Amino acid sequence: MNASVSLRNRLNTTVRDIPRSGIRDFFDIVSTMKDVISLGIGEPDFDTPWHVRESTVFALERGATHYTSNFGYIELRRALARYVGKIFGAEYNPENEILITVGVSEALDLALRALLNPGDEVLYHEPCYVSYRATILFAQGVPVAVETRPEKGFRLTRAMLEAKATSRTKVLMLNFPNNPTGAIMSRADLLDIAAFACERDLLVITDEIYGELTYDAPHTSIVSLPGLRERTVFLHGFSKAWAMTGFRLGYACGPAELIEAMMKIHQYTMLCASSLSQKAAVEALARPETDVAEMVNEYRRRRNFLVGAFRDLGIECHQPLGAFYAFPSVSRFGLSARDFALRLLHEEKVAVVPGTAFGDCGQGFVRCAYATSLDNIKEAVKRIQRFISKPLKV
């Protein structure tokens, strides 16, 4: 008798067929090596502001260690209603239009599951965050990728969406400032997209986790445009602007009916976000401007340095206007994005992420995060220079 149980054929087929994230795959290789300078890290290198950490310790001492409301602490939702109104330009009722989640990732999952029936199509732009396609598939939706290009600054246009929309299109997903390209959308760009969404009666999910991190022009949220609030789920969190990735804290704002639907899934699967993280977030919102402003200045200087260095090296790189990523083209070196990244890693010990981790159209690009010290960036540039000055053909 064969004692082994074959699980492969019993797994959910969607889960079985989705590959692991290309980033994980790359991390496994990098983590076996020493003295690597990493431009592959998708989180801030700043510490969580000390007042936030200190207040988390205080919350622990005071015993904030219990379940919270499914929606999250009301004091946090009230603070968020003020913050979102001020920074993103949309008003939400903290009682029933804001849901605190375990990171934006959970919020995105909830929004898709709350909206999609099997076969509903979701328009999203690539290159994009690694989870989008998988999350749509898990929610039984049909992912429809819209390719963005460097010639247009990786911005999304109405024409690109028109070309991919069908009668089954239900949801449009946006992520600006964008990971991995650093692209942002102007108000005029967004007005076109908004008109398209209204005419087609689409629901919009906008992931604005990098909303505070723009360097040359202020961020505009699509939710602040006329007519969009009623059809949009706005997603944001504390990971980037406050360097709180490990706290796993995000939130969704939207019309009460939709938030209620998302809350039901959250209630039965997650119950609530961590009480301590929520307390930390209340403190973070107590003085957001001071924390964020200096961070933005520092990122801007690093961006200028890194992108300037790429151009001096003759590496084509569109100017990233937000987030903390540069997305240079490496196609002229005659290697695939993955081979370029692997060889750069093995020969010069610099980790960058192949663009294909963010969608097929990321071929020929690599993502370089400048969320690392200037010293690291300088050393990485030196090594990249050495790397590309050698003959690269396989």
Which residues of this protein are in contact with other proteins, per CB under 8 A?
A: 21, 23, 26-27, 30-31, 36, 38, 40-43, 45, 129-131, 179, 297, 301-302, 304-305, 308-309, 351, 353, 357, 374, 378
Least CB distance to other proteins at residue 150 (A):
21
Least CB distance to other proteins at residue 146 (A):
20
- What span, in angstroms and rounded, lies between the C-alpha atoms of 248 and 259? 19
Least CB distance to other proteins at residue 221 (A):
22
Between 193 and 381, whose beta carbon lies closer to other proteins? 381
273-289 burial, b at 16+ Cβ within 10 Å, e below that, comes to bbbbbbbbbbbbbeebe
Rg (CA), the chain: 21
Between 305 and 333, whose beta carbon lies closer to other proteins? 305
Across the chain, how many H-helices and E-strands are there? 13, 12
Least CB distance to other proteins at residue 339 (A):
17
Sign of CA dihedral 111, 116, 118, 122: negative
Q: Which residue has the tokens 């937000």?
A: 322
Least CB distance to other proteins at residue 91 (A):
32
Between 59 and 369, whose beta carbon lies closer to other proteins? 369
Least CB distance to other proteins at residue 77 (A):
27
* Residues in Cβ contact with 114 at an 8 Å cutoff, skipping those fewer than 6 apart: 258, 261, 262, 264, 265
- What span, in angstroms and rounded, lies between the C-alpha atoms of 40 and 23? 9
- CA torsion 33-306-215-371 (nearest 10°) is 20
Sign of CA dihedral 93, 296, 127, 184: positive
- Other Cβ atoms within 10 Å of 43 Cβ, number: 14
Between 36 and 64, whose beta carbon lies closer to other proteins? 36
CB 272 within 8 A of CB 72: yes
Q: Which residue has the tokens 């967004």?
A: 190
Between 59 and 309, whose beta carbon lies closer to other proteins? 309
Between 14 and 297, whose beta carbon lies closer to other proteins? 297
Between 115 and 357, whose beta carbon lies closer to other proteins? 357
Least CB distance to other proteins at residue 323 (A):
12
Q: With both helix axes pointing from N to C terminus, report the angle between 103-115 and 256-269 in degrees, rounded to the nearest 10.
A: 110
Between 104 and 361, whose beta carbon lies closer to other proteins? 104
Least CB distance to other proteins at residue 241 (A):
17
CB 131 within 8 A of CB 173: no
- What span, in angstroms and rounded, lies between the C-alpha atoms of 329 and 114? 37
Residues, the chain, total? 394
Between 285 and 350, whose beta carbon lies closer to other proteins? 350
Least CB distance to other proteins at residue 131 (A):
7
Structure tokens that stand for 179 in this block = 């990971």
